[in-house]
Chain A
Amino acid sequence: MNMKKLFIIQLVFLVSALTTPLLAQSVSIRGKVTDASDGLGITSATIVELDKNNRIIKGVISDFEGNYFIQVRSPEHKLQFSFIGYKTVVEEINGRTTINVALDFETTEIEEVQITAEARTDIGMNISDRELAMPIAKVDLQDVGDVQATSVDEVLQGRVSGIDIVANSGAPGSGMSIRVRGVSTLNAGDQPLIVIDNIPQKQSVPNDFDFATANDEGYADMLNISVEDIEEITVLKDAAATALWGPEGSSGVLMVKTKRGSLGRKPTINFNYKGSIAFKPDPIPMLSGDQYSTLIYEAKMNVDDMPLNTDTYKEFSYNPTEAYYYWNYSNNTNWPEEITRTGFTNNYDLSMSGGGSKASYRFSTNLMNQTGTTVGTDLKTIRTRLNLDYKISDKLMLRANFSYSRGDNNKSYRSNILNEAYSMMPNMAVYEYDVDGKISPNYFSPLSNIQGVYPSMYNLVAMANNAIYNIVNNDVNTSLSLNYRIAKGLTFNSDIAFRLNSTENNRFLPQNAIGLTWTSSLVNNASNYDTDDYNVYSKNRLVYTLNINDTHKFNASLQYSTSDSRGFSYYVASNGSASDYLNDPSIAARYKELGGLSSSTWQLRDVSLSALLHYSFKDRYIITFVGTRNGNSKFYEKYRYGYYPSVSASWRISSEPFMERFDFIEDFRLRYSYGQNGKAPKDAYLFFNNYATYSWTYMGETGVYPTNVQLENMKWENFITNNYGLTLTMLDKKVDMTFDYYINRTEDLIDNSFELPSTSGYSAILMNIGTLETQGWDFNIRSEVYKTADSHLSLFFNFSQNYNILREINENYNLERDRTTSNGEYKMLVQIGNPIGSFYGYQFEGVYTNTEDLYAVDEEGNYIQDPNGNFIKMVYNYPDINYEFQLGDAKYKDVNHDGNINYLDVVYLGNANPKFITGLGASYKYKRFYANMTFYGRFGNSIINVTQMYGENMYSYDNQLASTMRRWRREGDSTDMPRALLSSGYNWLGSDRYVHDGSFLRLKYISISYDLPNSFCERLNVRKIKVSATLNNILTFSNYIGQDPEVSIKSSDIFTVGYDYSRTPVSKQLTFYVNFTF
C-alpha cells in the first residue's frame, strides 16, 4: 500500500517538474490535514497544487502529525487534499497562507461504476457503437473468465460468427488457424491482425524461415497475452472497419482491450489458480506385432507367390537361433501408447489494480506450466503486464503499457510423431535385448531394418524423450500514448510503441533415436535458429467532433502512422558431438563446418495516411467516409502506394417518428458498408534482382547466383468488401441480434508460387493471378431469456456460412492438381465460377470376391466381348498400365462402363470447406452459482483420412490398422477390405473410401462456478472467493471415422484440402479453478 503511494508521488513530482511554467510567483502555504471524526492529524496525506485545468503542478505529503508545507506557483491555483479512504477536498487558495483541512471518511466504497457514456468500442475511429455501420463483433471476457484456455483464440472459438478457428493440433503451443470470413488471400498473411490496446502487433517473418511446419505452428502469436488480462475482444470483419489498420488488417482485425485500473479505487489484489488434467487420447486400434508379421508374409506372397526371404529380412524370421533378432523383433509394442500420456496444466495468475485521483494502474503476472499428451511436449510461459494511466490535467492524459512475456515450448522433433507411431513396426522392441534375451536400459535403435533408415524408421520412444525441439520466445512491448484536448471538440492523440521479439529454436537429433553410425552427418545433429524482430510503430491522430443540438453530429479525423520493422536471424548447426547429451551446436563436434551457418537480415517499412469523415443526422441517418493511402517498402516504385476508399452508412429505422408505436424496439437499423484494403506479400525485396551465394562450394570457392525474377509488376492485392447488415435490439435489450450478408472480392490475388515454365530458370514466381470472391452471411443472436433478482439465463447462438469462388485467373494458371494414376492421389480441380476446395477421385465399391465380377460389363449389364468373342477383363488404366484386376483387389466403379478404370471414372468426392460453422451456448446464474457452456461446430466439410489410407493400404512395411484383420485372404472371402499387396497393385487409389464427412458439434466447455458466501470470506479476510470446475472438449458429436474431425486446412494455394494426419488431437480436459480477491 505504501509502495503504491510512493510510486504515485514520485510520478507526481516527475510530471509537475516537467510541466512547471517558467515564470511563477511563488507563495508559501502551511497547514494541517486532520481526520474530521477525531481531529487527529493524517500522516502521508497528499497535498497537490492544481491549475485551472486541474493539471497537477506540484505535490507534497503531510508529515507524521499531518502538517504540511507547500510553495505554490500561483495564488490563483487550487489545493487538493486526499488520502486513501477519505473524501478528497479541493480548496481555492484565495490569498490564504494557512489552510487547515479536515477530511471525512469515504463511507460508501464505489462498488460498481455506472457508466453513463455511450458504449464505445475504439476500433480506431472514435465513433460510438451506436453509430457504427460496419460488421464488428464483441466478446466480453467476463463471460468466459474461468475457462481453461491458454490463448485468446481458444476463447473465441465458437463465440463469434464469421470466424473459423481450428486448432492446428492439440500439442502445447501449436496455435490455431483463424480465418475471418473465409479465405481471402493465398498469401502467408491470412491470419487476422492482432491489435492490443490500439497497437498493432506486426510480425515480420524472416524470408528464409522454412522449418517444415513452423509457419503454422511456431508462431502462435497470441500466446503473448494472458487470457486473464483481457477485458474485451472485438473482431473487425470487413475492409470498411479495418481500413485504418493498414494492409495487415485486410484479413480481419482482432482488437484486444486489456484490463486497466480505474481512478479512485482501493487496490484490489486478485489471485487465481487453474489446474487441469488433459486425458490421454484414445489410440486408434492397430495390429499387434504378431498380426503385423503375418500380414507382411501374406502381402509378399500375394505379389509373386514367393515367400518373404527371412534370411535377408531377419526381423521376420522369429527364429530363436538368430537370438538377437528373435528377441528384438518378436514383441508386441504399441507405439502410440508408448508416446502418449496424461497431460497436466498449472496456471497461476496474480494481479493488482487500483487508482488514486490522478493515476490508475494494473499490474499482472501469469505463470503457466503445461505438459502435453504426447511425451516430450510441454509449454511454460511467464507473462507480465503493467498498464498505467495518468491524468495530468483535464486536457492531458498519459497512458503507458509495458508487457513482457516468455514462452518456453518443447515440441516433438518429428512434427508428426503420433502419425509415425501408427506406422512403426510393432514387433520391434523399445529397449534392446541381448542375445540371451535380457532386456537392457538402452533404446533399441537399429541402423536399418525392413522399414529403411531414419527418417523412415527410428525409435519413437527415444525420439520423444531425447530429441529436442525447443522454442523460446521473448517478447517485450512498450507503448506510450498521449491524449491532448486542444480545444473543445478537438483532440490530438499520439501513440508510439516498441516491440522486441526474439525467438530461439533449438533442435537436437540424438544418435540413440536414429541408430545411424557415428560417422553419419545426421548423428547428434544440433542446430540453433534465432530470429530477432524489432518494431517501432507510431501513430498521430487529430480528431474533431462537433455536436449541434444532438441533431447534427460531425466527426472528422486525420491520422498518420508509420511502422518500421527490422529483423535478424542466425542459424548454426553442427553434428557428431561426442554424446547424446552434448546437444548444443556450440559444443565442439566432429563436423561443425558440415552443419551449416547462415544468417539473414531484413527490414520492412510502411506508412499509412487516412482521413475520416462521419456525419449523423438526428441519430437516424449515419454516414462515414474513410480514405486511406498506404505505402509499403515491399513494392517497386510504380506500385508502392495504394489508395483505399471506404464508405459505410446506416439508417436507424427505430428512431423514425413512425416507429414510436413499436416502443419495444430499442434499436433497429439497416447497415451498408463498402470498403477496400490492400495486402502486401510476405517477402521483402522482391522487386530487386537479388543475388545470393550457394550454401555449398565448388572446389572450395563460393558461387553467386541470381535467386529470383525481379518483380516490377507486382501490385497490391486489393480486397474489396460489400456488407449488408441488420441490427435489432428489443425488449429492454433482452434480445440482441445482427445479420450480415457480404460479398468480398480479392482482386490481383497474389500467388506465392505461380508455376513458371522452368525454361526461365525458375520454377515459380510470385504473381497477381486473379480474382477470388467470398460470399456469405453471419447471424448472431443473444438473448436474456429471463432475469430476476437472483437468477438469470442467457443464450447465444451464431451461425455463418461462406463460399470461396474463383472469378478470374491468369490464363497460364494450372487449375488442376494431382492426377489419379498413382495410389493415394486425389485430383483437385478449380473451376471459374464454382466454389474452391473440391476434390475428385474414384468410387470404391468394395472388393472383387467373385470371378464373374472380374469381367467388364456394359451399361445394360452385359459382358463386353472383344472382336474374337472373348470376354474382356476389368483393367486399370489401359493402355499405359493395363493392370488386370484379380480376386481380392479393390473394386472401383466403372462409371463409363468401358471395362477400364482410368481418369474417365473419376468423380466429384467432396469439398474441404465447411458448409457452415456454428456456435451456441448458454449461461445460467442462480444466486451464487453460475453455469456456462459453449458448443462449437463445423458442418459439411469432407476430410481425407490419410491415417486410414496408409493404415489400410497394406502396401508397405508400415504397421496397419486393426481393421485390416478382415482383409480378403482367399477365394470365397467376402469382405470390403482388399488383399495385402506389397508395393504393387492399385488397392488404394484416391477414392471415396478415405473421404469422410467432417461435420462435428463439440461441447467446447461446460463449467460451473460458485461464489463463496461473504460471511465465509470475511472470516478469511478475503473480499471474494470463487471456485469452479470446467470440462473441455468432453463431448463431440460426429460421424467422422478417425481420430478427431477438427482438422485445419492449409490454404497456401487455391487447392485447399483437409487431410487428417492424426496429429495430437485436441485434448479432453478437466479444470479446477479458484479465485481470491483481496
Chain B
Amino acid sequence: MKIRQIAFTATLIFSIVLSGCNDWLYLEPEDGVIRQDFWQTKEDVHAAVVGMYCSLQNITERGYYTIPECIFSWGEIRADMADLGSRIRPQYSYIKSGDLLPDNTLFKWNAFYRTINNCNTVIEFSEDVPEKDPSFSDDALRSYQAEAYAIRALMYFYLYRSFGDIPMKLTATTNDGEEFTTAKVKKEVVLDQIITDLLFAYDHATYTHGDAVTDRGRVTKYTVAAILADAYLWKQNYSEASKYLDFIINSGKFTLIPRNQYWFTTLYVDGNSVESIFEIQFDQNILNPFYSLYKDNRYLRASADMMEEVFPLDPLANPDSADIRADGCSYKSSDNYSFWKFFGINDEESRERDQSFANLIIYRYGEILLMKAEALSELGNPQEAIQLINIVRNRARAARTTNFLGSETSSDDVTAYILEERSRELAFEGKRWYDILRYARKNNYANKDLIVNMIMRIAPPEKIQTMTNKYRDTLFHYFPIHADELEANPKLEQNPFFEGL
C-alpha cells in the first residue's frame, strides 16, 4: 500500500515537474532588453538613433580601429602632409612605404559596418513604431530615419573612397539563419546608392533639432546637403553639387568665424561653432582616440618639410601676420609637429590627456565654400570661384607667397589652386588623400601625375622606384580588403591589384 502511494506521488511529482519545465527554462535577460520588447515608443527610436551616433565615437569590441582613427589615418597616411612619428606603428609604416599588405589591421572596416548595421536596424525596426505609439508622428519617424540614411551614406562614402568596390548591406542583421556572405558591388553602384540614400534623407531630414549645438552633432538637412554635394563632386556632377552647396550657403545659418584671438578656440577647441556643419562629438565622458595615438605615442606627426611648402614664410611680411592656419593651428612645431587642431587649447598651450575631447569635424563652412568654388570652376566659371577662395584666404590671412598665379580664366589652373588651398584650410582634418585622389581621377585620371609626383616626393630613396610603379596603377589607389574578411566571406574577391598577395 505504502509503495503504491509513494509510486503514485513520485509519478505525480515527475509529471508535474516535466510539464512545467519548458516555462521554467524560458528566461529573459533582466539587465538588458530584447528586440521584441524594444521598438515600442518614440523614445526607443530616439535611443537607437543616439546609439547610432555613439558607434561613431568608439567601438565596443577590442582590437578594432575606431571610426575617428580610420577617418583620420585613411585620409592622411597615404598623402604627403602627415609623416611617421618617432614611435613605430607597423600598420602605419607599411602603408607609408607603399606596402599595402592585406593583413594590415588598419584595413579592417569593422567599425564602419557596425555603424551601418545600427543604421539599418533603425531604418528597419522604427517603421512599425508609430502603430504602437500614437504620439509618434510620421514626420518625426521619417526625420529619425533620415538621420539613419545619412549616417549610413556617410559610412559607405568613406568605404567607397578607401576601398572602391565594396559589399553593400542594406538590411539589419538579426539572426543566425541569415546569409551573411555578400559579394562586392561596383564602386559606381555604391556611389549611386549613397546618393539615393542621401536624397531620401534630404527630403525628410529636419532643419533643426532645436538648438545650435545639437545641430552640429546630429544630422540636419544641411548635413545631408554637405555629404550629397561631396558625393556629387566625386560623381563629377557639378551642377547637382552646386545646387546643394547653394542650399547651405543661402540658408544664412553658417558663416566663417572671423579672424580674431578666439578664432582657434571657437572653431577647434570648443567646437560646434557657427562655421561647423557636422562634427563627431566627444566630451569628458568619451575622449577622442588621438591623444594616445599621436601625442603620447607619436605614431604620426605633421611633415616638417611639407609644412614649409604648404605654409611658406613670407620673408617680407611681419611674422605676426602669418597665415593663422599655420604653426599653432594645424601643427605645432615646438611640440614635435603634433596635430595641434586636436591637442591645442590655444596656439600655445596643450590639452591634458583627460581633456582630449576635440570633436572630429566632418564638414564645415570653409570647406563648403571651397567645394562650391570647385563646382563653379568645373562648370566654367573660374573667376567666381576665385572670389570664394579669397573669402577663405582672407579670413586666414593667407600668405602672399601663396597667391594665385595662374590664369583666372583657366578652370584647370583654378581647380589646381583649390586643391592647394584645401591643403591649407583643411590640414589634418582627414581630407588630404581623398582630395588628391578626387583631383587625380577626374576625367579618366587626367591628373594621375599628381599622385605619382606626390609619391616621388615622399617616398624613401630606396623605395621611390617600386612605390611610383605601384601608384601608377590606379587599382593601387584603393586599399586591399583585409584577409580576415576574405576568409570569412567566400563571395568576396580581393581588390584586383592585390589578388596575388
Contact = CB atoms under 8 A, between A and B. Distances in A.
Interface string B334-362: 00000000000000000011110000000
B14 A519 contact: no
Given A690-B35, A706-B174, 6 more contacts: A519-B354, A691-B38, A699-B214, A705-B118, A714-B176, A756-B488
A632 interface: yes
Interface string A739-780: 000000000000000011111111101010000000000000
A684 B29 contact: yes
Contacts of B58: 694, 696
Contact of B88 (A540, A767, A983): A983
A119 interface: no
A609 to B, nearest CB: 7
Nearest to B292: A453
Contacts of B113: 758-761
B322 to A, nearest CB: 27
B14 to A, nearest CB: 6
Given A603-B30, A756-B488, A819-B483, A703 B2 contact: no
Contacts of A763: 61, 64, 110
Given A699-B214, A756-B180, A710 B117 contact: no
Interface in B25-40: 25-36, 38
B50 A685 contact: no
A704 B55 CA distance: 10
B47 A702 contact: yes
Interface in B447-485: 466, 483-485
A602 interface: yes
Given A757-B485, A821-B103, A688 B35 contact: yes
B309 interface: no
Nearest to A487: B3
B250 interface: no
A691 B35 contact: yes
Interface stretch (B138-146, B194-202, B278-286): B278-286
Nearest to A575: B354
Contact of A694 (B6, B33, B44, B54): B54
Interface string A500-534: 00000000000000001101110000000000000
Contacts of A448: 296
A699 B35 CA distance: 25
A16 to B, nearest CB: 22
A698 B50 contact: yes
Contacts of A520: 352-354
Given A637-B22, A688-B35, A760-B113, A560 B47 contact: no
B24 A759 contact: no
Interface string A1001-1037: 0000000000000000000000000000000000000
B175 interface: yes
B490 interface: yes
Given A709-B174, A710-B176, A601 B30 contact: yes
B21 interface: yes
B134 interface: no
Contact of B10 (A542, A604, A696, A698): A542
B303 interface: no
Contact of B51 (A591, A705, A711, A758): A705
Interface stretch (A248-256, A876-884, A927-935): A876-884
Contact of A699 (B3, B120, B281): B281
B30 A689 contact: no
B33 A690 contact: yes
A600 interface: yes
A307 interface: no
Contact of A697 (B30, B36, B286): B286
Contacts of A558: 10, 14
B217 interface: yes
B416 to A, nearest CB: 33
A762 B283 CA distance: 26
Given A689-B174, A983-B88, A757 B281 contact: no
Interface in B177-200: 177-178, 180-182
A60 B490 CA distance: 83
13 contacts: A487-B2, A490-B3, A601-B31, A631-B25, A690-B33, A691-B48, A701-B50, A703-B53, A703-B55, A712-B177, A757-B488, A758-B109, A759-B489
A811 B286 contact: no
B108 interface: yes
Contacts of A637: 22, 26
A834 interface: no
Contacts, number: 256
A548 interface: no
A814 interface: yes
Interface string A471-507: 0000000000000001100101000000000000000
B90 interface: yes
A707 interface: yes
B117 A762 contact: yes
Interface string A864-888: 0000000000000001111000000
B120 A761 contact: yes
A604 B47 contact: no
A760 B169 CA distance: 7
Interface residues of B, number: 93
A759 B25 contact: no
A203 interface: no
A604 B27 contact: yes
Given A521-B354, A712-B175, A762-B173, A698 B57 contact: yes
Interface residues of A, number: 86
Nearest to A766: B176
Given A609-B18, A685-B27, A709 B61 contact: no
A705 B55 CA distance: 9
- Most B C-beta atoms less than 10 A away, residue of A702, A704, A707, A879: A704
Contact of B54 (A632, A688, A697): A697
B501 interface: yes
A698 B27 contact: no
Nearest to A486: B6
B409 interface: no
Contacts of A692: 32
A806 to B, nearest CB: 16
A19 interface: no
A633 interface: yes
A637 B26 CA distance: 8
Contacts of A517: 352-353
Contacts of A880: 99, 101, 501
Interface in A586-620: 591, 593-594, 599-607, 609
Contacts of A712: 175-177
B255 interface: no
A694 B60 contact: yes
Interface string B113-136: 110111011000000000000000
A640 interface: yes
B499 interface: no
A812 interface: yes
B52 interface: yes
Given A607-B21, A767-B176, A881 B285 contact: no
A713 to B, nearest CB: 5
A530 B181 CA distance: 40
Interface string B488-500: 1110100000000
A206 to B, nearest CB: 10
Contacts of A698: 50, 53-54, 56-57, 217, 281, 286
A759 B49 CA distance: 20
Given A697-B286, A698-B57, A710-B174, A757 B167 contact: yes
B379 interface: no
A694 B57 CA distance: 10
B297 interface: yes
Contacts of B101: 821, 880
Interface string A47-69: 00000000000000000000000
B213 interface: yes
